[in-house]
Amino acid sequence: MRARARIVSLRGVAMKIPEILVIETIHKPGSLARVLQVIGDAGLTIEHLSALKRDSGRTLWEITVEMDEEADRSLYERIGQLPIARFVGKSDRVFNRHRGGKIRVISSQPINSSQTLRDVYTPGVARVCLSIRDNPQAAHEYTALDHTVAIITNGTAVLGLGNIGPLAGLPVMEGKAALFADLVGINGVPILMTETAPARVVEIIAGIEMSFGAIQLEDFAAPECFEIEQQLRKRLAKPVLHDDQHGTAVVTLAALINGARNARLDLRASIVGQIGLGAAGNGIARLLFAYGVHEILGTDLSGDAMSRFKALGGRGTTLEGIMQHADIVVATTGVKGLIRPEWVRKGQVIFALSNPEPEIEPVVARERGAAFAADGKGINNLLAYPGLFKGALDARAPRFTDQMLMAGAEAIALFAGDELVPDPLERELHQKVAEAVRAAAARA
């Protein structure tokens, strides 16, 4: 989940990014444990560990750790000083997976004869062009329109990195496109723009929308993202969705359905507190109201964000006020440690969703009496957006409705079983979400 910072400025705060260390150890008991102890003593979290090869009594390891710019790099030297280990260097695994890009366009059928060429290109294609001219609806059957989504960004709010520009955000867009293709067979087309003024952004997208069956807005900063999405939804007769708002909201609602059940709370009758009212927080609050939650408290340092929240029907308060009165607390601020342990009330449900560091660690919240607590590591937008778009495109829906979003959330919650949320790489999950969204669109 990509929660936007709102409570305090994150300017200058270092983001934790995985680094992959390559370390060789002598193959004997305790060697690896001593290396891991050095890493642990440095205060670093190990995300992944794998053995690359074993040869001549030595093992080569890849150890993935989370490190920010301020982390002490003398760690490498301390590992190298161990008599049983050698620091080899850093792995290029992540860069290698990106080399040449993560996506490509391929033909849906082999073009291996002159007749096939004449059919799919000139002169045969002219017949199809004229058919679509006479009946524009034929484009749904004879083009890839119903399987193609534009993934558009101006790079003003990329992951937790902020306004790094559209070109630097392209790897994220390619990642989305690769996941669309792999999980639900949709063509995702990354589109980068340098424009940031909402009116101009809307005009540019409206000028190219005919190429796509749906529009996914990605990594547009608040508050501009609200106006951009609102205007596009008015102008375009096709599904438009800002993933940072609504994808986040769908996955959060799914997790809250299961989290409230585990804590034996009635979600709709509970008082929900939303800490942080940027793109993610606003989207969550809006969908919770649509789902039937009666009372939502909210707080944000931005006066505009608070006004927007109150217009939804929310009640403004302070951070401390939310912790004192809310049964369920959702935090999307990007501020590590924002929620003090002593503020946690017995029986609360707390979702501290900022990545990579939550507002409060779930284990700490539970130790202080929370009935249920979770962070944003598993509550990932990937659970929602492939199935949301697949279902909307299959239904040829003119827009995303709240009913479609809620149907997607309920499908995710149901598929999770006894877990909070399911594994996002479960392909059956995305088909279930698509089916639920398609059915909800048909009922609209």
Rounded-to-10 torsion of CA 11, 12, 16, 19 = 130
- What confidence score (pLDDT) does residue 68 get? 75
| Residue 245 · residue 1 · CB < 8 Å | no
- What confidence score (pLDDT) does residue 3 get? 41
3-state secondary structure of 373: strand
- What confidence score (pLDDT) does residue 15 get? 63
The domain 114-244 belongs to what CATH superfamily?
Malic enzyme, N-terminal domain (3.40.50.10380)
- What confidence score (pLDDT) does residue 29 get? 92
How many Å apart are CA 382 and CA 390, to the nearest integer? 13
- What confidence score (pLDDT) does residue 284 get? 97
How many Å apart are CA 385 and CA 251, to the nearest integer? 9
Give the Cβ contact number of residue 429 at 10 Å. Answer: 24
User: Each residue of 399-411: pLDDT tens digit?
Assistant: 999 999 999 999 9
* Domain 245-444 in CATH 3.40.50.720: yes
| Residue 399 · residue 350 · CB < 8 Å | no
How many Å apart are CA 281 and CA 240, to the nearest integer? 19
Written as six digits, the tokens of 112 are 């291996």
- What confidence score (pLDDT) does residue 154 get? 97
Asked whether this chain's domains 17-98 and 245-444 adopt the same fold, the reply is: no
Mean pLDDT by 10 residues, the chain (444 residues): 37 64 93 93 89 91 84 84 92 88 91 94 94 96 96 92 94 96 97 97 98 97 96 97 96 96 95 97 97 97 96 97 98 94 96 90 96 90 97 97 98 95 96 98 90
Q: Which run of H or E residues covers position 105?
A: none
Give the Cβ contact number of residue 144 at 10 Å. Answer: 14
Using CA atoms, how far residue 318 sits from 10, 83, 95, 440, in Å, is 20, 54, 43, 37
Give the Cβ contact number of residue 125 at 10 Å. Answer: 13
CA-closest candidate to residue 433, choices 398, 396, 394: 394
Q: Which run of H or E residues covers position 52?
A: strand 46-55
User: Each residue of 367-412: pLDDT tens digit?
Assistant: 999 999 999 888 899 999 999 999 999 999 999 999 999 999 999 9
Amino acid present at 217: L
443 DSSP 8-state letter: H
- What confidence score (pLDDT) does residue 366 get? 96
Written as six digits, the tokens of 381 are 């937008």
* The model's pTM: 0.89
Using CA atoms, how far residue 103 sits from 73, 134, 142, in Å, is 34, 34, 23
How many Å apart are CA 4 and CA 158, to the nearest integer? 10
By CB neighbour count within 10 A (0-12 exposed, 13-18 middle, 19+ buried), where does 312 fall? middle
CATH number for 17-98: choose from 3.40.50.300, 3.30.70.260, 3.40.50.970, 3.30.1300.10.
3.30.70.260
| Phi, psi of 155, deg, nearest 5 | 70, 25
Using CA atoms, how far residue 398 sits from 238, 389, 403, 410, in Å, is 4, 12, 14, 22
How many Å apart are CA 108 and CA 114, to the nearest integer? 17
Domain ranges within the chain, ordered by starting residue: 17-98, 114-244, 245-444
- What confidence score (pLDDT) does residue 368 get? 96
Cite the active site residues: 121, 176
Amino acid present at 120: V
